[in-house]
Amino acid sequence: MKFAVIVFPGSNCDVDMYHAIKDELGEEAEYVWHTADNLDQFDGILLPGGFSYGDYLRSGAIARFSTVMTEVVKAANAGKPVLGICNGFQILLEAGLLPGAMRRNRDLKFICRPVQLQVENAETAFTNSYSQGDVINIPVAHGEGNYYCDEVTLETLKANNQIVFTYKGDNPNGSLEKIAGIINQQGNVLGMMPHPERAVDSLLGSNDGLMLFQSIVKNWRESHVVNA
């Protein structure tokens, strides 16, 4: 499986993402600059964390208009797996690929520490290697991770089982309903604030994030066997 790691001016987690895919997962990965106008050769799209375009205006607000985002939307509409982590999640929200918005952390401070997540939906293309209710250790590093949506959107997320991860115990950023990650209704676009690419080896303090990437590959291979 071949992944595109999208790089915006200000991305700073692209190398972590590349390492997770290439060195830990053993799959193909390629850095793709934000000016790219074709992603057809890739099987999966990864939007890493960082501060795209300096987070001016709003986190992800400028990156949303990058040339490559037209191709990301195209890939998402084609059913390819698209994963946005931290700033990547913010970009997916700004692009309308996921519902809701991101606000400043409740305490208006940047947070960088390990947190516990609970797997709320283990039947997605991104979580099929976990079990329902699993508690995993994944670090966060953000200043604007306070997820918010209106009541109608929240009820829709719940009804469609689109809330994939929640914070277990402590709510580090004040996120609505402790939401840490959501998926689109089609099930192929996931956005999450915690960084699974920083939890792919026990030397990093946790390897709980590796199973998320393994899930993507597992789902992709199974779907291609069925469609072969």
Put residue 49 in one of left, alpha, beta given phi > 0 → left and psi -120 to 50 → alpha: beta
Can 34 be counted among the known catalytic residues?
Answer: no
Can 155 be counted among the known catalytic residues?
Answer: no
Distance CA 78, CA 76 (A): 5
Can 123 be counted among the known catalytic residues?
Answer: no
**27, 71, 94, 195: which one is catalytic?**
195
Per the CB < 8 A criterion, the answer to whether 189 and 76 are in contact is yes
Q: Which two structure tokens, joined as six digits, stand for 182? A: 């959501």
3-state secondary structure string across 188-226? CEEEECCCHHHCCEHHHCECCCHHHHHHHHHHHHHHHHH
**13, 86, 94, 120: which one is catalytic?**
86
**71, 120, 144, 197: which one is catalytic?**
197
Placement of tokens 């590796």 in the chain: 210
- Give the active site residues: 86, 195, 197
